[in-house]
Amino acid sequence: MALPIPISSPGGPLPDRGLTKAGEEIAIYYWYDLEPLSSRSGTNIRAYCPKHHSDHQRSLSINASNGWGQCFGCKQRVLIRDWNPRLASALVRHAHEVLKLPALDCSARTLRALPPTSPDLSKPKRPAPAPKAPGLATVQPWQEEERRLLHTLQAEGALRLERPEAWNAQAYLAARHIPLEIALTAGVGYLEPGASERYQQKLLRRWEDRLVFPLQAAPSAAAGGLVLDGYAGRLLSSWQYYPDEVAHKKYLEQQDKKRWIKTNPAWWFWDPIDLPQREPVVVVEGPLDRLAVLASGGFQPGEILALVGTALQSRWLAGKIRALLLALDADQAGHEASDRIARDLAFDHLLVESCVLPADGAGGKDWSERWRRRGDVGMQALYVSHALLAERL
């Protein structure tokens, strides 16, 4: 298999190398690298090609709606990672497997590709502010660096659940009756103990021994059309002794450990590009609730959305879906959130219904616990509510 090496000429931005199943090499860039070389009109972008350094005309055409582009001069195909992160990660992972590329190195050279980190980590510069939606709290430099570190690890496959180092995560998911394939499809990862020392990155320490859930927001004008991302982490320490979520939570609180942490910014556990194949979209509270509903069968990833403590932004859904089924936790906070969301969406032309967890002795205040304890029987209320609302569409 003949492959063009290097994929970019000296002096240009260095892309990640992706490989399709057909053997075509794709240059994968961050939008930060190409933005200074480009002009934009809506979703159509023209840029000077960084591979052959075209300086007379913008020969690289990019579609911002899916991230794909091609140079009409040198014929190089490109993909913008920010706008199609799941596919970009898959292409990079395939290139590493087929071409036997070096393993992940969280050194200054690897992090250099993550916008807008300084290439010289020994003398860090103040990074440019990340795009943010209206009302978003200020992001501190260390928070942006933390998010980029996790992004790098995820993109290079260093969080993959199939790795031997992820045995604790594999056992935890199996105990909750969540197939590994479901978690992999949803992009869930795991950072093993000792990773911060191995990569020499102290910011990763609080993420060790955690399931790592990718969080995303739909593209918005406020974010320059980008798909914003973040992460949530679920600590697994000593879960074997406390399989019940409530008991494990109390144990971690006694140890002064946070069960859940999130990056800033943080969004939904949902892929905004993977639009639902059918409606209504089911809205749950936590990442494990979403995995449990997906594990129960009959639902595609785009049909289940986990809020993860983020407000439901109707503008992210505008024009994409017609109906929502709110299936939040069976506690006071969950009931209040359902009422608030229903009121807020009353004028957005969305059909909104609630599915209340039944007091049937199945136990557990959320869908994750019901699925763990009773399987399909514990999910019947959700199945029926979904079918009834679907018939109204």
State both tokens at 213: 């859930």
DSSP-assigned letters across all residues of 351-389: EEEE-PPP-SS---SSHHHHHHHHGGGGGHHHHHHHHHH
143-184 pLDDT tens trace:
989 999 998 998 888 999 999 999 999 999 999 999 999 999
Confidence of residue 118 (pLDDT cuts 50, 70, 90): very low
Choose the CATH number for 106-118+140-262 among 3.90.980, 3.40.50, 1.20.1250, 1.20.120. 3.90.980
Confidence of residue 211 (pLDDT cuts 50, 70, 90): very high
Give CA 11 to chain center in angstroms: 31
**Residue 205 to residue 92: CA distance in whole angstroms:** 26
Choose the CATH number for 281-391 among 3.20.20.140, 3.40.1360.10, 3.30.420.40, 3.30.70.370. 3.40.1360.10
Residue 360 scores a pLDDT above 80? no
HSE-CB at 131 with a 13 A cutoff on CA atoms is 17
pLDDT the model gives residue 5: 31
pLDDT the model gives residue 55: 56
Q: Tally Cβ neighbours within 10 Å of residue 102.
A: 7
Residues 41 and 59 sit within 8 Å (Cβ to Cβ): no
User: By mean pLDDT, which of 180-189, 268-277, 304-313, 326-335 is the weakest?
Assistant: 268-277
9-36 pLDDT tens trace:
344 566 778 888 888 999 988 776 677 6
- Calculate mean pLDDT across residues 110-122: 33
229-252 pLDDT tens trace:
799 999 999 998 887 888 899 999
Confidence of residue 209 (pLDDT cuts 50, 70, 90): very high
Residue partners of 185: CB distance under 8 A and separation at least 6: 294, 301
Would you list the domain boundaries of the chain? 16-87, 106-118+140-262, 281-391
Tokens 């005309």, residue located: 57
Give CA 104 to chain center in angstroms: 19
66-106 pLDDT tens trace:
889 998 888 889 998 777 777 877 888 788 788 876 544 44
Dihedral angle over CA of 135, 140, 143, 147, nearest 10: 60
Residue 223 scores a pLDDT above 60? no
pLDDT the model gives residue 97: 81
Residues 210 and 239 sit within 8 Å (Cβ to Cβ): no
Higher pLDDT, 277 or 228: 277
Confidence of residue 110 (pLDDT cuts 50, 70, 90): very low
Q: What is the mean pLDDT of the chain?
A: 79
